[in-house]
A and B are shown apart, each in its own frame.
Chain A
């Protein structure tokens, strides 16, 4: 019964949470962009110069330039390629997480939301970095892949799939589940889990 209430309330709250998330614009994306800027410019200073926010877009100034259709070092090209990345591609995880958490009506809900938000910003930063990796792979190709410290194309594709297509929806569920502990919903779920896992108790662990 509690679980059904949770899902129905989540569905009702999703439009509200998404409305607030969209209206807040850059507010929910900014910390993830700062973390991403720090990670990328420290780990790959020869590829990324800096990243910043412009509206809901993360603008990444790269160390690559373009001359006569060729991608080369910005200094040699005399110009600099900048990438524009839609931060909402990963930040919608906050709206989903807020809907899940609000539907559970947990004690210290606001505090738990702040803790969850902190983790989501870190996960989002990796998501944004993965998008940058994918964009550079498609845009620059060989000059990007041959730069020191850049992983192979398959790893870039895998991390993109994982961090951008999966984590924005999986991470909120994991965080919410972790923060449920001690709540009436958790007790009901634990009962279900206890009964359900006893059916497989004969299996080797």
Chain B
């Protein structure tokens, strides 16, 4: 447990510091955030053709309402928590890589739902948008991280069910 906690905190702090570096922001985080906006637009377009993506901004061409996906809104911080948990927990490298890729996908999938929901909530009612943006969605994203990590532990256990008797 102590080993897990130390490794978790170390990896979390390290990845957080790396994420904040200017070259990493410019080369990885900002383009990635732009991709999130593009994917969100691509998912909305079949149902609503008034939406356009401009870099990290998602805009409604008719109402002019726009949301900008900023640091803290791109799901990277939540993914970092998940990665730190996976790296800190003893498992084979192969299992860790699979879990990180799948976990990142699940966190980002929910994050895209979050971005799209906020885009429409903002056009409907700004107070509700603020509530979901600032308080509810961060909690739901962290709950998603917790669920993914719990599923990962169960998946690891199922891979070697007989190990319990060892």
Contacts and interface: CB of A to CB of B under 8 A. Distances in A.
Interface of A: 3, 7, 10-11, 14, 18, 88-89, 92, 95-96, 154, 157-158, 161-162, 165-166, 168-170, 173, 189, 191-201, 203, 205
4 closest residue pairs by CB, A with B: A195-B157, A200-B90, A196-B156, A198-B163
Contacts of A89: 134
Interface string B130-156: 000011101111110011001011101
Contacts of B157: 191-192, 195-196, 199
Interface string B30-68: 000000000000000000000000000000000000000
- Decide if the interface of chain A is mainly helix, strand, loop or mixed: helix
Contacts of B134: 88-89, 92
A22 B102 CA distance: 35
A200 B89 contact: yes
Contacts of B16: 158, 161-162, 166
B159 interface: yes
Contacts of B26: none
Contacts of B147: 7
B139 A92 contact: yes
Contacts of A166: 16, 77, 81
A162 B9 CA distance: 12
Contacts of B160: 195, 198-199
Contact of B143 (A11, A157, A168, A191): A11
A3 B91 contact: no
Most chain A CB within a 10 A radius of its CB, from B135, B142, B152: B135
A195 B72 contact: no
Contacts of A161: 16, 20, 71-72, 77
A95 B164 CA distance: 37
B92 A203 contact: yes
A166 B134 CA distance: 12
Nearest to A201: B90
Contact of A193 (B95, B143, B153, B166): B153
A197 B92 CA distance: 10
B146 A199 contact: no
Contacts of B153: 189, 192-193, 196
Nearest to B22: A154
A199 B72 contact: no
B164 A198 contact: yes
20 contacts: A7-B146, A89-B134, A92-B138, A161-B16, A165-B77, A166-B77, A168-B138, A169-B78, A169-B139, A170-B142, A173-B142, A192-B154, A194-B164, A196-B154, A196-B156, A198-B163, A199-B95, A200-B89, A200-B90, A205-B3
Contacts of B138: 92, 165, 168-169
A197 to B, nearest CB: 5
Contacts of B142: 96, 169-170, 173
Nearest to A170: B81
A7 B148 CA distance: 11
A3 B155 CA distance: 14
B20 A158 contact: yes
Interface in B94-148: 95, 134-136, 138-143, 146-147
B23 interface: no
Contacts of B20: 154, 157-158, 161
A199 B135 contact: no
A165 B75 CA distance: 11
